[in-house]
Homo-oligomer: A and B are copies of this chain.
Amino acid sequence: MIRTNNNFNFLKGSYLFSEVARRVNEYKEKNPDVEIIRMDIGDVTLPLCKAAVDGIKRGAEEMSNKETFHGYGPERGYEFLRKCISETDYIARGINISSDEVFISDGAKSDIGNFVDMLPSNARIAITNPVYPVYVDANIMAGRLPEDEATDIENKGKIIFLDCTEETGFLPKLPTEPVDVVYLCYPNNPTGVVMNRDELTKWVDYARDNSVLLLFDSAYEAYIRDENIPRSIFEIDGAKEVAVEFRSFSKTAGFTGVRCGYTVVPFDLKVVSDNGKQFLLNNLWNRRQSTKFNGASFVVQRAAEALYTAEGRSQVTEMTNYYIENATLLYNKLTEAGMKVFGGKNSPYVWIKTPSNISSWEFFSLLLEKAHVTSTPGVGFGSTGEGFVRLT
């Protein structure tokens, strides 16, 4: 019989959100008249803002004329969009990131998933627990298994979990054994907690002292309203030598169905292969993207560009304000109801401790059947998520 990648053996049967969707659909089929309030997958509900809609239409119009038609674009994305990002999201905030350090893609999920191609096959990967499942699953597919399953596999790399619990305020402690890579995501998915400047500086210093690559998922930065919370890891001195930052227009501008994100790989970030040859990680990522990707859709890049106009920026702020108000409302209501709640501030996610210590999936079912609210079971994000659910 035809052989396949063995590492799929070690994946859970289905991707977490597919499983949630399956159970919700099953309930819907049995209860067709019940109106369900979806608070599980972090999808947006407001329509796409006018600036972006017009950007897509303008892009389509350009494609219809021979003179303004765009065929294959640069794999790293058009300069017109990379320039907006560099100037607005970084330089205007005092962070010196040039447009050639920015790579446009069809979304942060793709970039985060595909970035495992950059890592040594035997890398030791530190991942917080609970966590967005993509970090774990993408590494498992590449043969880097969670420590307990990896012990009998020589020199194949592994995943080391950094437990985040109620006691630690859901923040990770520095690894106690040598690692090559650390994934961090703040504002955090799923717990909604944020990392302040001191805490983030601790991680950057650790990475510099120990030659560790920080993969920083900043998909929710637009929800930060507190001036003391860093919106980019590159606000921290020295971060450009050790960190890659992933960002998305999904949660800021409602691009979940439009598909656009970007990744910053600073020129200061040097890497070495086992034979001692040095590379700029920026060059290697460009090589990967040139080989296995052909750039984001031109019309989508025009839509993202439109978010950087005055009109676009005000529409995006209006949108994120709406979601923040919802999260705050949810946080307050749940707290008033006597629930123990985390996140919900500077973040679209609210992380709830289940009542009476019931399991995540039990509370998921209870919320679905009694309140007709869908949630995501915390245990789906890792063992320390047991006894919690995520609402959004």
The chain A residues found within 8 Å of chain B, CB to CB, are: 1-9, 11, 14-15, 17-18, 41, 43-48, 50, 52-53, 56-57, 59-61, 63-66, 69-73, 106-107, 109-110, 113-114, 117-121, 123, 133-134, 137-138, 141-143, 180, 211-213, 242, 254, 256-259, 269-275, 277-279, 281, 284, 287-288, 290-300
Determine whether the beta carbon of A1 is less than 8 Å from that of B297: no
Residue from B41, B60, B297 within 8 A of A106 (CB atoms): B297
Q: How far is A47 from B71 in the complex, measured between Cα atoms in Å? A: 9
Q: How far is A293 from B296 in the complex, measured between Cα atoms in Å? A: 13
Known: A63-B47, A109-B293, A291-B137. A5 touches B72 (CB 8 A): no
Known: A60-B53, A272-B2. A259 touches B134 (CB 8 A): no
How many chain copies?
A: 2
Determine whether the beta carbon of A8 is less than 8 Å from that of B113: no
- Chain B residue nearest in CB terms to A66: B47
Q: How far is A296 from B256 in the complex, measured between Cα atoms in Å? A: 10
Determine whether the beta carbon of A106 is less than 8 Å from that of B294: yes
- State how many angstroms separate the Cβ of A19 from the closest Cβ of chain B: 10
Determine whether the beta carbon of A119 is less than 8 Å from that of B4: yes
Q: How far is A171 from B109 in the complex, measured between Cα atoms in Å? A: 39
Determine whether the beta carbon of A41 is less than 8 Å from that of B211: no
- Chain B residue nearest in CB terms to A134: B291
Listed by A's residue number, 30 A-B pairs whose Cβ atoms lie within 8 Å are A2-B211, A3-B120, A3-B272, A3-B273, A4-B281, A5-B284, A6-B273, A8-B279, A15-B290, A15-B291, A18-B290, A45-B66, A48-B60, A48-B69, A50-B64, A52-B63, A56-B63, A57-B60, A63-B257, A69-B254, A72-B256, A106-B293, A106-B296, A110-B294, A113-B293, A134-B292, A257-B297, A258-B297, A297-B297, A297-B299
Residue from B4, B72, B288, B293 within 8 A of A141 (CB atoms): B288
- State how many angstroms separate the Cβ of A240 from the closest Cβ of chain B: 12
Q: How far is A279 from B138 in the complex, measured between Cα atoms in Å? A: 19
Q: How far is A258 from B114 in the complex, measured between Cα atoms in Å? A: 21
Residue from B2, B72, B273, B281 within 8 A of A242 (CB atoms): B2
Known: A143-B121, A290-B15. A258 touches B4 (CB 8 A): no
Chain B residues in 8 Å Cβ range of A109: 292-294
Q: How far is A14 from B270 in the complex, measured between Cα atoms in Å? A: 18
Determine whether the beta carbon of A113 is less than 8 Å from that of B292: yes
Determine whether the beta carbon of A9 is less than 8 Å from that of B273: yes
Residue from B6, B41, B71, B272 within 8 A of A256 (CB atoms): B71
Chain B residues in 8 Å Cβ range of A43: 71-72
